[in-house]
Structures are given as C-alpha cells and as structure tokens.
Structure 1
C-alpha cells in the first residue's frame, strides 16, 4: 500500500476537520447522517482510515485519521449531551418515539374505558332484562287475581 505524503495527509486532515465542522453544524448531505461514513465521504478519504490497523505481527496501530474520528465522536457526544441534535433524522426519530409512546398510553386508556363501558352495558342490559321479567311476572300475577279492580285513568288526584 502506498504511503501518502505529509502534505497530502495535512490536506486530508484539513478536509476532514472542515467536513466535521459542517456535519456538526447540521449541514448534512442529502441521504447522509452525522456519522463516520458521511464524514469520510464528505472529506474525500476512505472510511477505514478512521479505524485502527494491524501490523504484520498482529499488533494494533492507530489508523491515520483515527484521532480525528475520536474527536468527531467526542464532539458529537458533547452536543448530544447538551440536548443539541445535529441530525434532523435523529430528531425526527426521537419525536416519533415520543409520539408512539404517547399514542400507546392513549390507546391503553381508551382500552380501559371501553372495558369499563362494556361492563357497564352488560350490567345495565342484565338489570333491564331482570326488570322486564319482574314486570311480566307481576302482570301475569295480577291477571290471575280476580278480586282486583282497576281504577279508571285520571281517577288518582294529586294532593
């Protein structure tokens, strides 16, 4: 693998820092997000340059721009901890998660209300049925009694 010159490395680091500043300000390219992949694409460097490498003997060494990746992640984390959301898609995801949880709570309350109303309806219908049966029984009983006289309508006066 060819090594790059000191000047090329300095230019690449400048490009990475400029891209880092743009991304952290929220200036994201269409379809991109605030991550290392987009940072590499915007800076024009390979993404693998942000990760550690292995020597031939198996030992690890830092990638050429790993320190910049760590700086980017540190700055991004600091922004997130202060409540600033750089990526509009991440903000939308958070907003939608909040909305989903609120809707789940509303749905649970509605389910509870429906269950209460269903129980109330069943109780009311059973009471009405019992009252209807009692009225039918009393009518039948009064029809079988011969010593009862019906009063003409309007004969009851209010006092």
Structure 2
C-alpha cells in the first residue's frame, strides 16, 4: 500500500509544472527554525546573518539564544545541538525550533524577521551585561596592598639573549 501511494505521488509530480511541485512540498508552518549563525556579527548578510549588527554578537551559542528567547517571552521551544545548516554542512552549529504562533504572540512581531530581531536585541543586551560584569570582576582581582604588588616579580620581561647565554653555558 505504501509503495502504491509513493508511486502515485511520483507520477503526479512528474506531470506538474516545477513551481507547482515546489508549492506542494511546503514546510511545516507551525514551526520556526532559528540557527545560531543568524546572530553572528562576524558574518555578513550574504554569509548568513539575518539580523542587524546591533542585534548580533560574535560567535553566539545556542544556550545564549535560548536565554534570549526566554527573555523575549517565548516558552515553547526545542533545542537541537550539533546540527548543521543545509548550506553549511561542515559546521555543527545548532538550531532552535520555536512554535510559530507562540513566538509571534510573545514578541508581538508579524514575521520571522521581527522575532529574530527581538531575540537578537535581548541577546546583545545579555552579552553586553556579561561583558561589563567580567570587566568589574577583573578590576577587583587587581586590587590589593601595594606591598604585595611591589614584591611580585615578573620573569616575562627577561631578554631572550640572556636566556640564550644561560642555556648554552656562556
């Protein structure tokens, strides 16, 4: 029975116009696929970035996109890690699958581009906040008493010629 159905569909497609064949093989409109490369600021639009530079970050992670989606109010999502985009089979980047209806309602957008932009803006905000937190933590680590700082010795500034002499015993 299955073979008969497959054969019948194949026969129908054989005599159809190519544009009609494409319209017949439509994707699932209830789901929205979001790839990590859509938010990579290192890429140009022709290389796969789909949001403006203000809504993108360098090397986005799938986890970061999930957090940004939750911040946007999207609750129904499925995460697929180590999946490659069809046009980039060499890179395992990961994909987030959202329910289209939930994503459009939560972000109050009218299209996938609007959803991507709202997720991207939250992703950028989270990235900037974590970056400023890291700067503050690094500044706090350098504080200490002057005595400890002055007694700290650095061997990084030794010249290479002195290393060579001691190495060969001259």
TM-score, normalised by the number of residues in structure 2: 0.24
Higher helix share: 1
TM-score, normalised by the number of residues in structure 1: 0.25
Larger radius of gyration: 1
Higher strand share: 2
Higher relative contact order at CA 8 Å, sep ≥6: structure 1 or structure 2? 2
